[in-house]
Amino acid sequence: MRDLRAVLLVAFGFLAAGILGANAKDWTTVRIATEGAFRPWNFVEGGKLGGFDVELAYELCKRMNVTCELMAQDWDGIIPALQAGKYDAIMAAMTITPKRREVIDFSRTYAVGPHGFAVQKAGPLANLPGAGKSLSLTKDADEAKKVVDGMRDMLKGKVVAAQVSTTDLAFLEKYFGDVATVRSYKTTEQHDLDLIAGRVDLIMTGVTALNATIEKPGYETLTLAGPTFTNDVFGEGTGVGLRKSDPELKAMFDKAINSSIADGTLKALHLKWFKTDNSPKE
């Protein structure tokens, strides 16, 4: 009787493995969405997608031995479209946050970096407190609070802006929503233009994107101001957004990212696109 039971258990094990194997997706093509409006991370030029996210996507696909299909997707619908199956992954400078983890999964981080502010050079906010400081909202909580309090005094009655559905907007609403008018924009390019035009007084996004904006022709009147911030609302870093139902694809991305860190490829891409190394070190 024991022998029969053992045979049945083994047979069931093979059957279960076969069922799981049949249900596991054979990833030969991976469809990846990016915004296409967040230079230098991702942009459209000459009708083609380019930028750090795009070049890294092709590099990771090569390491995963799959065909890459990239497409542009508006930021405010990028997670719902992933869940609806329009594509398989998001590579769009997306920060990993607990709120986003509630609805999607993420690969390991492929970038870490601070968030900051841009203002008009000749404007009243060019001398925001905390200039040159990089503050963690968790590790440097006391100092960060002092700097934020100083900023609150200067931002009273001002108009501050960030892209919709971003950690930058969450930061502005959390720390300045009761003293300033917080305005959201569909793209960062739109709030950049309104800062130049004087319709907003301050914008916030990732420092790498701000540097790229300031370097563009016609944006010479802008400057970085105040401190930069990490942690708390800014999450864990940037990762590939994935459906929770695709754990094997997450494992593939994790392995590819790890190998690109180990051989220095990821660092080289950071230096190429950002002129600084924001790659994770672990």
pLDDT tens digits, 243-255: 999 999 999 999 9
59-76 average pLDDT score? 98
Asked if pLDDT for residue 2 goes beyond 60, the answer is no
Assess if residue 5 is contained within a domain.
no
Phi then psi for 110, rounded to 5 degrees? -120, 0
Assess if residue 77 is contained within a domain.
yes
b (16+ CB within 10 A) / e for 53-92 = bbebbebbbebbebebebeebebeebbeebeeeebbbbbb
H or E stretch including 219?
Answer: none
Determine contact, residues 129/147, Cβ cutoff 8 Å: yes
Q: What is the pLDDT of residue 27?
A: 96
Residue 87 shares a structural domain with residue 136: no
Query: What one-character DSSP code corresponds to residue 30?
Result: E
For residue 264, the SS3 value is coil
CB atoms within 10 A of CB 147: 19
Residue 205 shares a structural domain with residue 255: no
Residue 197 shares a structural domain with residue 249: no
Average pLDDT, the chain: 92
Residue 140 shares a structural domain with residue 79: no
Furthest CA-CA distance within the chain: 88
Residue 25 pLDDT grade (very low, low, confident, very high; cuts 50, 70, 90)? confident
Residue 122 shares a structural domain with residue 154: yes
Residue 121 shares a structural domain with residue 222: yes
136-150 average pLDDT score? 96
Asked if pLDDT for residue 33 goes beyond 80, the answer is yes
159-177 average pLDDT score? 98
CA 257 to chain centre: 15
Pair of tokens at residue 76:
């405010």
- In the chain, how many domains are there? 2
* Radius of gyration, CA atoms only, the chain: 22
- What is the C-alpha separation between 255 and 252, in angstroms, rounded? 5
pTM here?
0.85
Asked if pLDDT for residue 280 goes beyond 70, the answer is yes
Assess if residue 70 is contained within a domain.
yes
Q: Which residue has the tokens 């907007």?
A: 169
What's the CATH number where 143 sits? 3.40.190.10
Assess if residue 12 is contained within a domain.
no
Residue 121 shares a structural domain with residue 228: yes
Pair of tokens at residue 45:
């030029």
Residue 146 shares a structural domain with residue 245: no
- What is the C-alpha separation between 174 and 160, in angstroms, rounded? 12
Residue 55 shares a structural domain with residue 39: yes
Residue 79 shares a structural domain with residue 147: no
Residue 172 shares a structural domain with residue 217: yes
Residue 36 shares a structural domain with residue 70: yes
Assess if residue 62 is contained within a domain.
yes
CA 215 to chain centre: 21
Phi then psi for 178, rounded to 5 degrees? -95, -5
For residue 92, the SS3 value is coil
Phi then psi for 104, rounded to 5 degrees? -135, 170
Distance in angstroms between the alpha carbons of the first and the last residue of the chain: 53
- With 0-12 CB in 10 A as exposed, 13-18 as middle and 19+ as buried, what is 177? middle
Assess if residue 170 is contained within a domain.
yes
| Owning domain of residue 56 | 28-112+237-274
| β-strand pairing of 89-90 with 29-34 | parallel
Assess if residue 124 is contained within a domain.
yes
pLDDT > 70: percent of the chain: 91
Assess if residue 208 is contained within a domain.
yes
